[in-house]
Structure 1
Amino acid sequence: MPGYKIDLNSVKDMFKKVYLFMLLGAALACKAAPSHPVKVPGSNDLQPDEKQMIVSRYIAQMITTQNYKKVELNDSLSLVIYNKYLKMLDENHNYLLASDVQSFEQFKTKLDDDMKTGDLNDVFYIFNVYQKRYVERVKYSLTQIDNNFDFTKNEVFTFDRETLPFEKSEADINELWTKRVKYDLLNLKLASPDMAKNRETLRKRYQNLLSQSNKLTNQDVFQTFMDAFTTSVDPHTNYFNPFNAAQFNMEMSRSLEGIGATLQSENEYVTIKTIVPGGPAYKSKLISAEDRIIGVAQGKDGEFQDIIGWRLDNAIALIRGPKGTVVKLKILSKASDKPKVIEIVREKIILQEQSAKKEIRTYNSNGRTIKIGIINIPAFYMDFAAYRAGDANYKSTTRDVKLILDTLKRMNVDGVVIDLRQNGGGSLPEAINLTGLFIKSGPVVQVRDTRNRVEVEEDEDPTVSYAGPLAVMVDRFSASASEIFSGAIQDYGRGLIIGSQTYGKGSVQSEIELDRVIPTSIKDKILSLVSQTPAKAPAGNVSTFGQINLTMAKFYRINGSSTQHKGVTPDIKFPSLIPMDKYGEDTEPSAMPWDTIAKSNYTKAGSFTAVLPTLIKLHDDRAANSPGFKYQLKVIADYKKRDAEKEVTLNEQALKKQRDEDEAKALEESNTARAALGLPVLKKGQAKPKNEDLDFNKIEAGQILTDYILMDNKLSSNKKAE
């Protein structure tokens, strides 16, 4: 959970305590490394650099001494890390041979020592072997494209091989990939009979895979291994390399500094896919979607760098930059073969599409018209940099929602639904502040740190932004800050919780920029030991060493229960469209257990005990007769059926028949649900209208709140009559 308070001085003190160990480790690594790089012909032969060596040692120290879930970095954990790393590289057993995996056995209980000393040679050796096999498989596939495949044979292609053993020989794995090529071509053939064009399409697809593989760097290898390491300890402790750290912080703040365009790599070109309304690119009127950026220069007099064939992240880093600075772009539009040069002054871009949004739905019931305001909150975001800088207009979830609530009140809504589905969390202070918009004051969440000290985080503002009827929608992907907010609303009896059981993430993470906590003197000395230039402050918001989101505490509801593992149980339950057995904290092997502490001292704002049985019955009656809910249950059942499948036929006639039947059945069920919503039915092949709302659960949540409003009004009238 980003946003938890941390004493950076204590972290710096920890670094100082291990300073001598680090210096000794660095010296040993330089003078007598435990192992030497082993070249793997056929791969990019990627090798670790000194910064990665430093970061690995620091993070090993932090996780074993500062993490809430203190673990010993030993052979047992090394085995877990090894298995996870191997799974991340080749989960489906499509590339590596059994002999490759056997050669890796020597590293199973060695990775813990490698992390402590910063020796990443074993890690990179494993990756280089994997990449060699990956390239071999794709190159072999390219040789099979022109085969004259017989699509009348009753063959099958096994696409899910996770539980199958690694292939023993190159002949065996080649047979697997021949079937893969046949399956890819069959898919294209079912869409178009032009086999010459299909073969060329597939050839370009495979060549693009090779191109992307060639662009991999040691940063990719290091990030992958660090993911395997950190999640073996705790599913929510993560290391971000410098680029990924910038991306994470951009998403947290819902803002960035740049030109205001989303980019994508297509056929070696950095292509503009969308343009942010109101941003610099939009205001220039010189850039359009699908334009290709072929060169970038910094400032009015900077020299152009050709970025054709570049990795997307490297190109993005070049195009982004501090607001007020100039970037020159060499643009190639689809309408012209002649590039044009434009200058753009970078600005701070607010990502409105990823911010809280509102809508109003009207319900007619028992002769009354009820207006329900629905606020969708995609994340608990906060622009920490703007806040720290004293910007009075900093971007945050609470500020955005308060403005929306003020608007909804002026529009005289009868109730409000807060939609937290798919909201994976974010800033802890924002969860507390948002809760404060709906309660007078009081505790919101309890936080227990690594020393078992419990701190009660409270809303201290007695003002209430909205006091009317309230419901909160959640699903399996509602996590962390979403669970704090919905749990507090439920504990106070302030609103109805509607949906499916939440994720169950009850741990709190602190964002620690390694550049800030590693003293400059230590960085310079370590880097000088390995003949590197002393660390310098990075340009813009890009760090030198990256960032770690470290689990520092565990949070508990004010009723004393942790949401860890169990999440928040809704008052009124919907079937989960998200597989509960595949996603959720209780599916993570390294997750912390559920437990309880003493409850906080708080006064409930209300209770739904008296009305809940009636609300549930009204919902169940509607759901039993709702084509929309029946459609959703069918979607869930179909997913489970498809998920159990592990192979597909390579017989063209059989596959076409199966897909035609599935498509016709899905269209029929979808049209039944559409008709129930008063929407026109669709014909085969007809595209769905854009921005069409088929969200049955959202509609039903508003109806449930409408039921409550009518019941509450009736109860109030009866009390007055008495």
Structure 2
Amino acid sequence: MKKILIHWIGVFSLLAFSTAAFAVAKEVPVDALVPDNIQRQTALIVNRVLERYHYRKVVLDNKLSEKILDRYLESLDPNKSFFTQQDIDTFAKYRYKLDDAIASGKLEPAFDIFRKYRMRVDQRVALPLSLLEKNKFDFTRDETYRFDREDAPWAKDKKEISDQWRKRVKNDILGLSLAGKDEKKIRETLEKRYKTLRRRIHQLDADSVFQTFINAYTLSIEPHTAYMSPERSENFDISMRLSLQGIGAVLRSDDEYTTVQKVVPGGPADKSGQLHAGDRIVGVAQGKDGEMLDIVGWPLQDVVEKIRGKKDTLVRLNVLPKAAGMDAPTRIVSIVRDKIKLEDQAAKSSIIEADGMRFGVIDVPAFYRDFRGQASGNKDFRSTTRDVRKLIAKLQKQKVDGIIVDLRNNGGGSLTEATELTGLFIPFGPVVQVKDSQGHIDVERDTDPEEVYSGPLAVLVNRNSASASEIFAAAIQDYGRGLIVGEPTFGKGTVQSLVDLSQFARGKDDLGRLRLTIAQFFRVQGGSTQHKGVVPDVIFPTADGSGKHGERSLDNALPWAEIKPAEYHPEGQLHLSMLQSKHEKRVGHDLAFRFLTEQNQEINKLQDKKEVSLLESERKKEWQEREQRALERHNKLRALRGLEPLTKLDDEEEDDTDTEEDPEGINRIMQEETARILADY
């Protein structure tokens, strides 16, 4: 069998590939949007590799063809802004033919659909441009605009979709007006935005169309499998080399918005405390005085190039905060670019006191390992396990009563580190089982009999703890070695690898790469970390039971599964019955924890909101009430921390200092409660 794996990704964290294709520099003639022989060959090879090597057994048939069509239309028009139901009806002829198109390499249906899409974009964008020229909008008229149409039906005809666009223009004008822009600037900004949208679609070439279509196939199978064209592969390599430079944020494209998917621990964005996962970036400016460019509708790569820059230079971002909602005014975030150093991401320790006891907190933001240093023979190469070992020794000298390992927002990293870190807390034995697509099971083991720390232990996790974090937390739980506390974790229990497709072809053409799911993780007790994640022994009220987050929110995610337990020897059963009830009674009266739960409820409410009022007075009222609630929450917490109250939320940024990145101690709230739980235990 060919060796298909050119990269062992191991536990691939929350870094996701956007399925939106990169644009090329020039507009592409419509008659150039046809498949070529290289794309036909690539489609055949992708299909063969998926059928043979993907962890989920792939059958390309009519049932899958239906899914591919729906996914392709969703990829092109995710917010149902261009196609009508009449268009969708015309595509019904392809519903049971796309499987044959891929299997035979006859890709014309995908390109036929895309050419119709491009035509519809031209027609739809013409309307807002004409409205900007001649229309005056009445913001005293009581009507609403549905900005999130993912679950809405397609507009039935041209009249209905035109009215949607009228409301969209009205909403865009109102939003910019509430942000303080004058009428002339608003119209200039929106004219440029809509023309950019049209130009972006005109710049998509045949390779972009092919990549979007093939990814409609891969994503219909499983959410972490994706095709990268040769150009996209090159950009991926560049991004991996430069991933620790700039502002330190992983971005993704959501419809026409650029969304912060993850803030890299230790990076400039993280240190600033001003940018968070879920925030939407709508503008970018260079330096203190550079023009703020409206980047709504820009290709992701173009946005990244504007944000990325030289060390010590300033970039200003115009941001719609996740916690403020789509109808709120934007805020300007200033960040000085820097290189993220390994020591900034390294594990750190602190001490928290609770109920007369002292607990050491070890914050582990990632499972890192200096593979280059190790390969070069450096005996002192950095790794998570080595750093944590030193921190444990330091905390023991300080005579702590227990240790908390904080894995919140840790998206994973090295599988080796997850295994070795577990070994610091257990004598020896299996840590995780890995089952491949052929059904073979390998067991990753801790072979070192030394138990570096055997005292009271708690592991703090949240909904963004994933992959390697879940392996560590699951092993600690299965061995009965410590308490798992917090929120159910992300639930990503699969392994991906990059496959070079060119090795399957006779010629020398670069066919790109396939990111392929090849294996699944299983706990030593036999259950998977996939889908369900790790459920804590003590669950915080901030836990989201809606299923809207993590692996369980992704289409076509692999289900939870179970295999035979490994042979292991748990240290004993933890007695947990009283811990949850004492926790719930305590946080019901805890003002700091109430801050978290109320903030969480506000964010969930905003995320459930799909439409906004176009009545200016109502819009202002909603925003002011939301700001007032947020201000009251912060001031209650500040009073608890002995801080002066704020008169407005913007004062909070001015209150921050270089020595105190979190003056209100928001990050400590969960740590403090974990310490109390460990004290209870």
Give the structure 2 partner of residue 530 of structure 1.
none
2:579 matches 1:615 = yes
1:145 counterpart SS class: helix
Give the structure 2 partner of residue 134 of structure 1.
121
2:133 matches 1:167 = no
Note the aligned Cα RMSD (angstroms).
Answer: 4.2
Q: Distance in 2 between matches of 1:454 and 1:707?
A: 37
Whether the 8 Å contact between 2:28 and 2:202 is mirrored in structure 1 is: no
Whether the 8 Å contact between 2:433 and 2:524 is mirrored in structure 1 is: yes
Q: Distance in 1 between matches of 2:430 and 2:212?
A: 39
Q: Distance in 1 between matches of 2:533 and 2:303?
A: 40
Q: Structure 1: which amino acid aligns with 2:412?
A: G
Cα displacement (A) at 1:392: 5.9
2:679 matches 1:679 = no
Give the structure 2 partner of residue 226 of structure 1.
214
2:573 matches 1:573 = no
Q: Distance in 1 between matches of 2:302 and 2:629?
A: 45
2:638 matches 1:638 = no
Whether the 8 Å contact between 1:475 and 1:576 is mirrored in structure 2 is: no
Whether the 8 Å contact between 1:561 and 1:597 is mirrored in structure 2 is: yes
1:411-453 per-residue CA deviation (whole Å, 9 max, x = no partner) reads 6655433332333334433322222232232100122233333
Give the structure 1 partner of residue 138 of structure 2.
150
Give the structure 2 partner of residue 183 of structure 1.
171
Q: Structure 1: which amino acid aligns with 2:124?
A: R
Q: Distance in 1 between matches of 2:541 and 2:567?
A: 34
2:404 matches 1:417 = yes
1:211-239 per-residue CA deviation (whole Å, 9 max, x = no partner) reads 44444344443333333211211223233
Residues 499-514 of structure 1: pairs in structure 2 closer than 5 A: 499-514=486-501
Cα displacement (A) at 1:181: 0.8
After superposition, the Cα gap between the structure-2 partners of 1:410 and 1:357, relative to the gap in structure 1 and judged at 3 Å, is: same
Give the structure 1 partner of residue 40 of structure 2.
53
Whether the 8 Å contact between 1:441 and 1:461 is mirrored in structure 2 is: yes
Cα displacement (A) at 1:242: 4.4
Alignment partner for residue 197 of structure 1, among 176, 185, 202?
185
After superposition, the Cα gap between the structure-2 partners of 1:579 and 1:607, relative to the gap in structure 1 and judged at 3 Å, is: closer
Q: Distance in 2 between matches of 1:48 and 1:695?
A: 56
Alignment partner for residue 593 of structure 1, among 556, 559, 562?
559
Unaligned runs of 5+ in 1: 1-6, 13-39, 266-273, 278-287, 294-309, 321-327, 335-347, 525-533, 536-543, 713-722
Residues 460-539 of structure 1: pairs in structure 2 closer than 5 A: 460-515=447-502, 518=503, 522-524=505-507, 534-535=508-509
2:14 matches 1:9 = no
After superposition, the Cα gap between the structure-2 partners of 1:686 and 1:641, relative to the gap in structure 1 and judged at 3 Å, is: closer
Q: Distance in 2 between matches of 1:315 and 1:141?
A: 24
Deviates more, 1:45-54 or 1:88-97: 45-54
Residues 273-422 of structure 1: pairs in structure 2 closer than 5 A: 290=287, 313=301, 351-352=341-342, 355-366=345-356, 368=357, 370-378=358-366, 380-382=367-369, 396-399=383-386, 401-402=388-389, 404-405=391-392, 408=395, 414-422=401-409
After superposition, the Cα gap between the structure-2 partners of 1:60 and 1:384, relative to the gap in structure 1 and judged at 3 Å, is: farther
Whether the 8 Å contact between 1:480 and 1:506 is mirrored in structure 2 is: yes
Q: Structure 2: which amino acid aligns with 1:183?
A: N
2:677 matches 1:704 = no
Whether the 8 Å contact between 1:629 and 1:696 is mirrored in structure 2 is: no
Whether the 8 Å contact between 1:428 and 1:481 is mirrored in structure 2 is: yes
Whether the 8 Å contact between 1:158 and 1:648 is mirrored in structure 2 is: yes
Q: Distance in 2 between matches of 1:45 and 1:193?
A: 41
Cα displacement (A) at 1:390: 6.3
Give the structure 2 partner of residue 216 of structure 1.
204
Alignment partner for residue 78 of structure 1, among 60, 65, 70?
65
Q: Structure 2: which amino acid aligns with 1:692?
A: D
1:546-590 per-residue CA deviation (whole Å, 9 max, x = no partner) reads 332322222211112222332211011013465632123344452
Whether the 8 Å contact between 1:396 and 1:430 is mirrored in structure 2 is: yes
Structure of higher CA gyration radius:
1
Cα displacement (A) at 1:86: 1.3
2:513 matches 1:547 = yes
1:520-560 per-residue CA deviation (whole Å, 9 max, x = no partner) reads xx442xxxxxxxxx34xxxxxxxx44332322222211112
Residues 239-254 of structure 1: pairs in structure 2 closer than 5 A: 239-242=227-230, 244-245=232-233
Whether the 8 Å contact between 1:615 and 1:704 is mirrored in structure 2 is: no
After superposition, the Cα gap between the structure-2 partners of 1:316 and 1:197, relative to the gap in structure 1 and judged at 3 Å, is: closer
Q: Distance in 2 between matches of 1:261 and 1:595?
A: 39
1:548 counterpart SS class: strand
Whether the 8 Å contact between 1:501 and 1:570 is mirrored in structure 2 is: yes
Whether the 8 Å contact between 2:347 and 2:384 is mirrored in structure 1 is: no
Give the structure 1 partner of residue 76 of structure 2.
89
Whether the 8 Å contact between 1:67 and 1:551 is mirrored in structure 2 is: yes
Cα displacement (A) at 1:60: 0.9
Whether the 8 Å contact between 2:5 and 2:499 is mirrored in structure 1 is: no
Whether the 8 Å contact between 1:256 and 1:350 is mirrored in structure 2 is: no
2:622 matches 1:628 = no
Aligned residues: 595
Q: Distance in 2 between matches of 1:633 and 1:259?
A: 34
Q: Distance in 2 between matches of 1:394 and 1:95?
A: 54
Cα displacement (A) at 1:395: 6.3
1:128-173 per-residue CA deviation (whole Å, 9 max, x = no partner) reads 3323323433343222224211111122222233343323443332
After superposition, the Cα gap between the structure-2 partners of 1:83 and 1:385, relative to the gap in structure 1 and judged at 3 Å, is: farther
Whether the 8 Å contact between 2:363 and 2:405 is mirrored in structure 1 is: yes
Deviates more, 1:544-553 or 1:255-264: 255-264
Unaligned runs of 5+ in 2: 7-26, 253-263, 269-284, 291-297, 316-337
1:9 counterpart SS class: coil
Cα displacement (A) at 1:182: 0.8
1:434 counterpart SS class: helix
Cα displacement (A) at 1:600: 1.8
Cα displacement (A) at 1:201: 2.9
Cα displacement (A) at 1:488: 0.3
Give the structure 1 partner of residue 550 of structure 2.
584
Q: Distance in 2 between matches of 1:703 and 1:576?
A: 13
Give the structure 1 partner of residue 329 of structure 2.
none
Whether the 8 Å contact between 2:631 and 2:649 is mirrored in structure 1 is: no
Cα displacement (A) at 1:490: 0.7
Give the structure 2 partner of residue 32 of structure 1.
none
% identical equivalent positions: 38
